[in-house]
Amino acid sequence: MAKVALCVGYFVTLVTFVVIKMFCNAMRIKQNHWLIFLLVLIVGISPSCRRELEPPEVENELLVPILKSKLDISKLVADSLLSADGDGFVSLVYRNTLYQASLDAFEELNTEEFEQSAKLQALELSDRTVQNFVSLGQIAENDSVYGPTIIALNGQTFQIPEITGLNFGPNVLDGSAYFDEMTLDSGYMKISIHNGFPTSISDIDFVIKNQGNQATIAQESFNVIQPGATATKTSDLAGKSIESYLEAFVENFDIDQSNGPVLLDTSDKITVTVTIGDLKVYSAIAVFPAQDIINVSKIDTLKNVGSSRITKAIAAKGFVNVIVESTIEDTLYFDYYIPEGKKNGLPFEVHERINPAPSGGSVYKEFHFDVSGYEFGMTGFPEKDSFNVLYSELVGRIDSTGRKVNITLEDSIRVFVNLSGFIPEYIEGYAGDTIINIGPTSVPIELFSKISSGTIEFEKVNMALSVSNGNNVPIDVKINALSASNSKTGKNVNINLSSIPSPISVLGASSVSVPWTNTWDLENSTENLNQVLGVFPDRFNVSMSVETNPGQNTSDLSQFGVDSNKLEAFADIEIPLSFIANDLLMRDTVSFNSKKIQKPEGIGSGTMYVIAKNSFPLTADMQLAFITTDGTIMQTLKFDKKVGAGALNAPNESVLAWEFDRADFDNMLSADQVVMTATVSAASTTQPTKIYSTMALDVQLSARFNYTYGSNE
């Protein structure tokens, strides 16, 4: 309306000008006078017609390339699985490991830690028992009051009167072979008194003393012991200082008056039994000359070997560990040998020295000796008639001045030795007769990891089971069940194994560098395997058992094994890519940088074009998704038209269009990536389509932008 008003105003002014001109000519008015009159008229008219000038609006359409992608067969199947013949015809070649393991013999082997000690605490004096008795006749001979009567009436009845203040002993216990003087850390004394008299005895006091200083070591009292009865008491000797000679005796006992007349027999006796046992010393005074305080030859049995019989092993890693504790105030030397452990022709031997312990203190030292690379005989030594054993020698010695020293319980030497973390890299012998049940378990399949939907049927599928054994150990492999499944859809199909033997007998390798291998084809299996592959499996599910040395002679020790050589079972699949396909997805993700679009703020609308050159003999439905880095879909482009099928040397070009407005364009500008998806199908549903390595679907995305300059009111 503003434009119309402006035009009308100018038109009125023009008409007025013509009328005034004609009027002036008629009235003979001078030219400069009517021009002034006209100017006044225009000024009067123009305020009601004034309109500001607007810039013009212009729309430009420019075709701009956005991005490119190439969808080839690697977008369906990993490129590493593809193989092409001389003509470029593609086959899918795939190997999937079903099982892989080393021999059990290569588990960690250890020996029990053995301890050798030289200390007084470990010196136990053997139990010593002393028995003595006193007869009724002996007592009567020493009693001037009632003694003669008792002797005279022997064999007759008589009421025995009370006889008090009796004693007998001492009995000597000799420990001089072990020490001069010692303080006991522990020990006991057991005193048993049997009353063989026809009347009770009472007030019995038993004492054990040092023979030299007469210090009391133990003292026990018994109140009453009835005729024919035995009483026992035990005394703790811990903390007692004892000389090498001890005396034990009864200081006092009383014969009670009998309960009326009793038969007198002068051979009736009281028997006293004294037992001293479990004596362990706390300190001692002794002369320790220079001597080997430890000298032991040790055969240690390996742990964790199961039924294996190992005669030789080369260590991949492991340690001999030696721990020494000493409170001896003299230099300690020890030597450790494994005569059958050699490296570069030299035996394994260790020579170490421990400094004297400080007065009242001790020294502690650990040694860890790496045995990597050592070859160990495991048959014993010097008689090599065994297996799974490690022979070693340990010598520990001290040098002394020969003077008498005071050694306490803490003054001792203890040596601990063991083999730990021993893992062989090579063994000889018998590798064991174990049966291992595996599964049901699953192993991943990368075969169709890039296909998420659709159907496919191959013209031919070849599958085989292969086994490789790198060790000289015969093995039976029994595959109980094998299936393929898709963990996303839950579909599972069993694989027909009827054409392969059960169990599979696997022989041993002929040498460490030449494994035994064999392959068993799954015959006439295309139909079954098409069902298997039709679920686009991402896992093999296997249940199997592995038996080493089935029915073998365990005395045959000629087998060998290497840690890097394994038993491996594979599923081998070869598929010529000639198939009938429907709605298979080919997908590629490319980066999208909106900053490369010039002056995006001026774009109001436009059209996206997909220019596709297709040499696959497959039609394709295209879809583009503009997404952010976190996977959020900002805009989806769908096309009504399909990409036409091409041929090997005659690609088909298709152009797909999608119009957008400003809101759509803003969504696309927010994206960081574009996911291109081609849903492909074969032209024929009955005749397989062959795929060649040079076939591809080349896609270019371009846009025709409508740039707008200026604005409207």
Same-domain check for residues 317 and 244: no
pLDDT at 712 over 60: no
The CATH number of the domain where 250 resides is what? 2.60.120
User: Which of 284, 311, 346 is at the close of a domain?
Assistant: 284
* 90 close to 692: Cβ distance less than 8 angstroms: yes
pLDDT at 17 over 60: no
User: Tens digits of per-residue pLDDT, 535-547?
Assistant: 888 888 989 888 8
Q: How many C-beta neighbours within 10 Å does residue 595 have?
A: 7
Same-domain check for residues 280 and 317: no
State which amino acid sits at residue 671.
A
Same-domain check for residues 171 and 189: yes
User: Which of 398, 430, 462 is at the close of a domain?
Assistant: 430
301 found inside a domain = yes
46 vs 402, residue with greater confidence: 402
Average pLDDT value for residue range 215-233: 93
Same-domain check for residues 126 and 275: yes
Domain count, the chain: 5
Average pLDDT value for residue range 49-67: 53
85 found inside a domain = no
Long-range contacts, stretch 146-150, CB < 8 angstroms, 24+ apart? 150/264, 150/266
Same-domain check for residues 617 and 481: no
Residue 308 — very low, low, confident or very high, per pLDDT cuts 50/70/90? confident
Rounded Cα–Cα distance for residues 537 and 652 (Å): 32
Alpha helices, H only, 110-235: 136-141, 147-152
Query: How far is C-alpha 279 from the chain's CA centre?
Result: 49
State which amino acid sits at residue 526.
T
87 found inside a domain = no
Least confident segment among 162-166, 174-178, 238-242, 637-641: 174-178
Same-domain check for residues 201 and 292: no
510 found inside a domain = yes
- Peptide bond preceding 688: is omega within 30 degrees of 0, i.e. cis? no
Residue 44 — very low, low, confident or very high, per pLDDT cuts 50/70/90? very low
* 388 close to 301: Cβ distance less than 8 angstroms: yes
Same-domain check for residues 167 and 270: yes
User: Three-class SS of residue 253?
Assistant: strand
pLDDT at 437 over 70: yes
Average pLDDT value for residue range 108-130: 61
Residue 43 — very low, low, confident or very high, per pLDDT cuts 50/70/90? very low
Average pLDDT value for residue range 289-308: 78
Same-domain check for residues 670 and 643: yes
17 found inside a domain = yes
Same-domain check for residues 133 and 174: yes
Same-domain check for residues 246 and 150: yes
Query: How far is C-alpha 704 from the chain's CA centre?
Result: 59
422 vs 447, residue with greater confidence: 422
Rounded Cα–Cα distance for residues 10 and 8 (Å): 5
Full domain range(s) for residue 16: 2-49
280 found inside a domain = yes
**Residue 178: predicted pLDDT:** 60
**Cβ neighbours of residue 620 under 8 Å, at least 6 residues apart?**
586, 612, 614, 642, 643, 678, 679, 680, 681, 697
439 found inside a domain = yes
Rounded Cα–Cα distance for residues 616 and 71 (Å): 10
* 248 close to 131: Cβ distance less than 8 angstroms: no
User: Model's pTM, two decimal places?
Assistant: 0.54
Query: How far is C-alpha 625 from the chain's CA centre?
Result: 43
User: Which of 264, 284, 304 is at the close of a domain?
Assistant: 284
pLDDT at 425 over 60: yes
Same-domain check for residues 537 and 651: no
Least confident segment among 83-92, 348-357, 549-558, 562-571: 83-92
Same-domain check for residues 305 and 326: yes
56 found inside a domain = no
Largest CA distance in the chain: 207
- Measured in Å, how far apart are the chain's first and last C-alpha atoms? 12
573 vs 313, residue with greater confidence: 313
